[in-house]
Amino acid sequence: MGKEKITYIEYIRVFAAVAVVFLHIVMTLPNNYSVAELGVFNYTVFSDCYMLVKWAVPCFIMVSGALLLNPQKEITVKKTWKYILRMLEVLLTFGVVYALMELVFSEKTINAYMFLKAILNTLEGKTWDHMWYIYVLISIYIIMMPLKDFIRAQSRNTIRIFIIVLIAGNFIIPTINTIFGTNIKTLMPIGEYITYFLIGYYISTISKESSIYKKSIWISGGGIATLAMIGLESYSLTVYGNTAVVNHMSGEILTLIQSVSVFMIVRILFENIEILRIAKTVSACSFGIYLIHPFWINLIYKVFDITPLSMPIGVGIVVLFVSVFLLSFCTTWILKKVPIINKIM
């Protein structure tokens, strides 16, 4: 993969790291309180902000696809196991620590049994919510080599048709089911996150001469998808008193459109731009920022009892977002100085 591609991928990592912190700042309260408890206005502000950055984690996954499925990058069984073991190490460190913290918060005490319980909870997927991404990465790494063999053996047209089928099964049909109340079964053997992984590879190889290599197309597509999500969210809140409808739909086709659009916009804008030193540093810390930022959110929200609603909501969101991002970045930068931690971050 050429230097240009690495440059824009570094920027996608930076923007995704920023977006995922913002996402969790605005969604921590709505995930724990009802519309009635927060008030319709506050809930709407949080939800609208959330709709702006739903692309964050899908873009992380697409970056992995762009890098790891590239036929020029050799992936051996040994390398695959190295990737998997790294994620297991993340689970057995950060996952266990967070599971233990949750037990301590709940029980108001700590003992040896809790350490064993925290390990078991982590293995069962019962740690902090953001760690779901690590389980997804493990599943992606497991299937990665067969996917690379498929890409090597097939024409670009065949790969495109395969991705279209996956999009239909994982995104379009579920959206149809949500809108019309149908129950069309797809029985897709490959889920939405593997689909994002494949899409990341495919769109990273779109030629600059292609008719769709135009930022206007992707700005329009991403903008329309985002506005649709915000409109549906307002409708859902007004008619149903919750955001269930938009969460289902935006979790499917609209988030896909938004995520692919963001990826392509950043690629087109930054493909020929030399990466800034600060951007390179933040990119190198992006995985650590993802792992660590919920610690600071929980500390600020639960221990210090400071939330976006502790001040005017707009000010609160900005102040807490900037604070948590900087704290997470600095913590990651410091921890990466420790060799054993740097290996997994």
Q: In whole angstroms, what separates CA 112 from the centre of its chain?
A: 34
Q: What percent of the chain has pLDDT over 70?
A: 96
* Higher local confidence (pLDDT), 44 or 180: 44
Q: How many CB atoms lie within 10 A of CB 26?
A: 24
CA distance 131 to 125: 8
The model's pLDDT over 325-334, given as tens digits with 9 standing for 90+, comes to 999 999 999 9
The model's pLDDT over 229-272, given as tens digits with 9 standing for 90+, comes to 998 888 878 777 776 656 655 558 999 999 999 999 999 999 98
pLDDT of residue 72: 86
Whether residue 189 is predicted with pLDDT greater than 70 in this model: the reply is no
Q: What is the mean pLDDT of residues 263-284?
A: 95
The model's pLDDT over 6-23, given as tens digits with 9 standing for 90+, comes to 799 999 999 999 999 999
Q: In whole angstroms, what separates CA 58 from the centre of its chain?
A: 5
The model's pLDDT over 54-85, given as tens digits with 9 standing for 90+, comes to 999 999 999 999 999 998 888 999 999 999 99
Q: What is the mean pLDDT of residues 220-229?
A: 95
Q: Which has the minimum average pLDDT: 99-103, 235-239, 271-275, 287-291?
A: 235-239
Q: How many CB atoms lie within 10 A of CB 210?
A: 9
What's this model's pTM, rounded to 2 decimal places? 0.94
Whether residue 283 is predicted with pLDDT greater than 80 in this model: the reply is yes
Under the banding of pLDDT at 50, 70 and 90, the label for residue 3 is: very low
343 class by beta-carbon count within 10 Å (0-12 exposed, 13-18 middle, 19+ buried)? exposed
Separation in Å, CA 265 to CA 19, 37, 106, 290: 15, 38, 44, 22
Q: Where are the chain's structural domains?
A: 3-70+191-342
pLDDT of residue 177: 84
Q: How many CB atoms lie within 10 A of CB 186?
A: 14
Whether residue 120 is predicted with pLDDT greater than 80 in this model: the reply is yes
Phi, psi angle pair for 284, to nearest 5°: -65, -25
Q: What is the mean pLDDT of residues 24-48?
A: 93
